[in-house]
Amino acid sequence: MALSLDRYHGAGNAFLVARRDRSAPWSTFAAESCEREGVDGVLVLDARDGDPPRVEMTLYQPDGGTAEMCGNGARCVAAWTADRLGLDHGTEILIETPAGVRPALVGEDEAEIGMGQVRFDPEGVPLAREEPLIAEVVEGYEVTALNTGVPHAVVFVEDVNAVDLAGMAPPIRHSELFPEGANVTVAAGTEDEFDQRTFERGVEGETLACGTGAVAVLAAAQRLGLSDVERATVSPPGGDLVVTVDGDGAATLRGPVAYDGRVDCSVPGAGMAVE
């Protein structure tokens, strides 16, 4: 079936957005389309009426798999929903993800998403060990492990641009310590300003931005004593993101989001319109 799908981007992360058709082979579509269309994933949505509006989100990644949560993807979902429904700025939208229900607010050219609770415990990451992994050497790098919707291995360095991310990240991403794998994020900075680069599982490469990674940077910095603030600007290559992590570990993510036009493509075997 030929389709014309919306394309959105949040801080450089680009996504195709489609309404759910449960008969469509979305995994195959994502694996074939992400590289061809230059996007980081396909967001398949199931909108539901309500006050506030609710939308179920599934992210299909370039390897054909799904991710429990994507901060920048969720912000794009919020913007798409607000655009489609003609919602006023500041209207709350509830986004249902495999990581839990996430509240979102859409402003002018930006969106904020609640990211839930940061977890360092081995069960929550998860880790193949009984103790948290805090600033311990893994594959030659000092790693702190946490879950901000998906597992992250955070490494603090002096200069993120001096790191051979494509070389150092895969051994950590596939370490036996991470039974479900992990995104690998390198960060540099202190207190309330950090640079960030992330190698994403499922993408199997570096992305221009990673919202869960930005949250992981501040949360890990707090845990390691590199920052004692609850709000920081985290800057991946795609743009600045504003992250908050409060004293109880509850996090939010705010940053730019924009509609980027329509993309003509096809979903083999789709049984209904999903644009």
| Residue in 34, 70, 76, 265 annotated catalytic | 70
Are 163 and 231 within one domain? yes
* Higher local confidence (pLDDT), 143 or 46: 143
Non-local CB neighbours of 21 within 8 Å, separated by 6+ positions = 267, 270, 271, 272, 273, 274
The model's pLDDT over 48-65, given as tens digits with 9 standing for 90+, comes to 777 889 999 999 999 999
In the beta sheet, which residues pair with residue 9?
14, 258
Are 163 and 67 within one domain? no
**Domain range enclosing 17:** 2-109+257-266
pTM for this one? 0.91
Domain of residue 61, CATH code: 3.10.310.10
| Residue in 34, 76, 210, 265 annotated catalytic | 210
70 catalytic? Reply is yes
The model's pLDDT over 181-220, given as tens digits with 9 standing for 90+, comes to 999 999 999 889 999 999 999 999 999 999 999 999 999 9
Non-local CB neighbours of 146 within 8 Å, separated by 6+ positions = 118, 119, 120, 125, 152, 154, 216, 219, 220, 223
Element (H, E) at 78: helix 71-85
The answer as to whether 274 is a domain residue is no
Degrees to nearest 5, angle at CA 67 with 63 and 71: 120
Are 191 and 86 within one domain? no
Residue 273 has pLDDT above 50, yes or no: no
Taking all residues of the chain, what is their mean pLDDT, rounded to a whole number? 92
Are 126 and 246 within one domain? yes
The answer as to whether 89 is a domain residue is yes
The model's pLDDT over 91-131, given as tens digits with 9 standing for 90+, comes to 899 999 999 999 999 998 999 999 999 999 999 999 999 99
CA nearest to 259, candidates 75, 130, 93, 117: 75
